[in-house]
């Protein structure tokens, strides 16, 4: 059983205490990283490229660095699901005919449908960092759900984004504007094996990347 709380210090931390399995008094701490750290890592270690060191808001869905995260932009290449060929969606044997390719400043996702896209930004994740990515509130309030799995330690690449239109109406997605926020969590212990060590199948991916086995 796990309990959570906030630890002391200048950075907000989550302390996870194990009541079973790790022995009495054992703790692990992961701190969420601030805009100062994100900016330094982007400038000195190319963690995010291209990097925007402020929140761009005027007339757009916001993007850029925020207090404790980074709002990424969606690119202008989309793969929108279609049933024209009546293919079966099989993650072990994916048929690229399941999608229609679109390159545009605005992508229209049909009702109750789905699209893949990728971020404008290329990420290089440090070995002691794990990220969590959450969809923008502006899209969520319109019934548009963004899903991105965590970026593992030492993973790098463009982020493939899954966008679901849960409404009965067509939905617009605006290219080169904000789509999701990335939060960076730093462990107090470096992992034994990183994504790079495991030679992960999505390492250094570029653009929209389909499922691989």
Lowest mean pLDDT among 15-24, 69-78, 126-135: 15-24
Per-residue CA distances from 150 to 22, 25, 97, 134, 197 (Å): 25, 28, 27, 10, 17
Q: Is residue 193 part of a domain?
A: no
Position 18 in a domain:
no
pLDDT bin (cut points 50, 70, 90) of residue 1 is very low
User: Which residue in the list 11, 28, 77, 162 is annotated as catalytic?
Assistant: 162
What is the Cα–Cα distance from 89 to 91, expressed in whole angstroms? 7
The count of structural domains within the chain is 1
Any idea what the CATH number is for the domain that residue 171 is in? 2.70.40.10
Structural domain contains residue 10:
no
Q: Are 131 and 184 contacting, i.e. CB atoms less than 8 angstroms apart?
A: yes
What pLDDT does 27 receive? 58
What distance in Å separates the CA atoms of residue 50 and residue 59, rounded to the nearest whole number?
A: 20
Alpha carbon distance 39, 65 (integer Å): 8
Q: What's this model's pTM, rounded to 2 decimal places?
A: 0.85
Residue 174's domain spans which residues? 51-187
Could you confirm whether 49 is annotated as catalytic? no
DSSP annotation of 151: P
Residue 27 falls inside a structural domain: no
Fill in the DSSP letter of residue 34: -
């Amino acid at each position: 059983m796990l309990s959570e709380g906030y630890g002391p210090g200048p950075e907000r931390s989550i302390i996870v205490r194990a009541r079973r399995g790790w022995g009495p008094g054992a703790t692990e701490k992961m701190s969420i990283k601030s805009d100062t750290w994100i900016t330094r890592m982007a400038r000195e270690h190319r963690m995010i490229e291209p990097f925007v060191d402020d929140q761009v808001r005027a007339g757009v869905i916001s993007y850029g660095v925020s207090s404790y995260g980074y709002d990424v932009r969606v690119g202008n290449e989309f793969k929108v699901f279609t049933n024209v060929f009546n293919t079966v969606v099989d993650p072990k044997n994916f048929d690229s005919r399941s999608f229609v390719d679109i390159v545009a400043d605005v992508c229209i996702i049909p009702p109750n449908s789905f699209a893949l896209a990728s971020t404008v930004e290329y990420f290089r994740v440090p070995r002691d960092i794990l990220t969590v990515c959450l969809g923008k509130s502006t899209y969520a309030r319109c019934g548009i759900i963004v899903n991105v799995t965590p970026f593992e330690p030492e993973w790098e690449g463009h982020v493939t984004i899954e966008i679901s239109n849960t409404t009965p109406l067509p939905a617009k997605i605006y290219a080169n504007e904000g789509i999701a926020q990335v939060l960076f969590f730093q462990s107090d212990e470096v992992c034994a094996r990183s994504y790079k060590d495991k030679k992960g199948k999505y390492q250094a991916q570029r653009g929209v990347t389909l499922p691989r086995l």
